[in-house]
Structure 1
């Protein structure tokens, strides 16, 4: 595939990421993706022959990788687990404020919609969340926790973060993120 083809594919994925995060899987139509990306319908099916699920899968995979890469880069820089989570909450807060609470976690909106009915997309979300949790657990092991304690703590922290993002979007307030940051500090101190 040439440069133009890669650019078209990237525009389709970027538009899909933006739309599904704000509107969800069911609220986003392919015509919206085409309009947002400025690409013709033929390009959509050339790059994503299986259609919407394949396109949304690529968008979620990219979003999940972006957050996973951030967590891993902070871990590589030897940032503490608490710093990593504060940074992640800050990024989610910035996304919410810039979008007037239309966005937060790039996976959560779709993950909630597809958990019970779309196995392919549920799997993509699961893999991303497992990567995030695993990277955080690895950092906690580096900080001296046992593997079992690190995995349990990382799961609790991720649940706290995702719950706070959901509440912040619903309430149109960053207060739940601040509360989550304090709760995570207590959890990581224990």
Structure 2
């Protein structure tokens, strides 16, 4: 391992942990440093772009984790309905394990930066677009029509279900949404 790589990784992991639960504005750099066990100088050494660069890298890592899950589910799920249910279950399990402090790893930040023209908003948009492309491909492969619209609808249902589940501290919205997605996809 290259010297400093461990510290950099700990800073990204700590930021991801905090930003998913607290959002952009609720995540302070002192808290990141304390959770990562890193000295202040290492933050500016590894992330000369400051908080936005650090949060951007944490969001990228979170997006890549969901990308990997989607890739695995795309090859292992028998149907697109199975893929979506498995994705919902995995995200719900993660949320419950975090005692409802986390839902979608991108949503907390995008809600705060959506009104800006900044790089973080663009990054969040690109992450969502990537997930939607995977759904488009799975829906197309399954023979569905209007796959762009259907993929956007499915992604919106997933995001909404996670938000409602987090707000109500209950898996019920996830289960309800899963059943409606089954009907929508004809599963």
**Residue of structure 2 in register with 1:150 after alignment:** 147
CA distance in 1 between partners of 2:74 and 2:137 (Å): 8
**Shift of residue 49 of structure 1?**
0.1
- 1:118: how far off? 5.3
Aligned mates of 1:59, 1:118 — CA distance in 2: 19
Match of 1:91 in 2: 90
Contact kept? 2:20, 2:105, Cα under 8 Å: yes
How many Å separate the matches in 2 of 1:165 and 1:115?
18
Q: Find out whether 1:6 has 2:5 as its counterpart.
A: yes
| In 1: Cα distance, 2:55 partner to 2:7 partner | 15
With the length of structure 2 as denominator, give the TM-score of the two structures. 0.95
Once the two structures are TM-superposed, the CA of residue 117 in structure 1 deviates from its matched residue by: 2.4
Q: CA RMSD in A?
A: 1.4
Matched, 1:16 2:15: yes
SS at match of 1:25: helix
Are 1:138 and 2:170 matched, yes or no? no
Equivalent residue for 2:162, pick from 158, 162, 165: 165
Q: Contact conserved, 2:77 with 2:83, CA < 8 A, in 1?
A: no
CA distance in 2, matches of 1:169, 1:123: 25
Who is 1:126 aligned against? Answer: 125
* TM-score relative to the length of structure 1: 0.94
2:184 aligned residue (178, 182, 187): 187
Say if 2:88 and 2:158, in contact at 8 Å, map to a contact too: yes
Q: In 2 relative to 1, CA 118–48 (structure 1 residues): closer, same or farther, beyond 3 Å?
A: farther
| CA gap 1:168/1:8 in 2 versus in 1, 3 angstroms | same
Shift of 1:76: 2.7
Summarize the alignment of residues 41-120 of structure 1 with structure 2, pairs less than 5 Å apart.
Answer: 41-77=40-76, 79-117=78-116, 119-120=118-119
Tell me whether 19-28 or 66-75 shows the greater mean CA deviation.
Answer: 66-75
Segment drifting more, 136-145 vs 154-163: 136-145
**Unmatched 5+ residue regions in structure 2?**
none
Is this contact kept in 1: 2:114–2:121, CA < 8 A? yes
Could you give the per-residue CA deviations for residues 92-117 of structure 1, whole angstroms, max 9, x where no partner exists?
A: 21122111110111111111111112
- Tell me how far apart the structure 1 counterparts of residues 151 and 102 of structure 2 sit (CA, whole Å): 23
User: Which of residues 168, 174, 179 in structure 2 aligns to 1:177?
Assistant: 174
Gaps of 5+ in 1: none
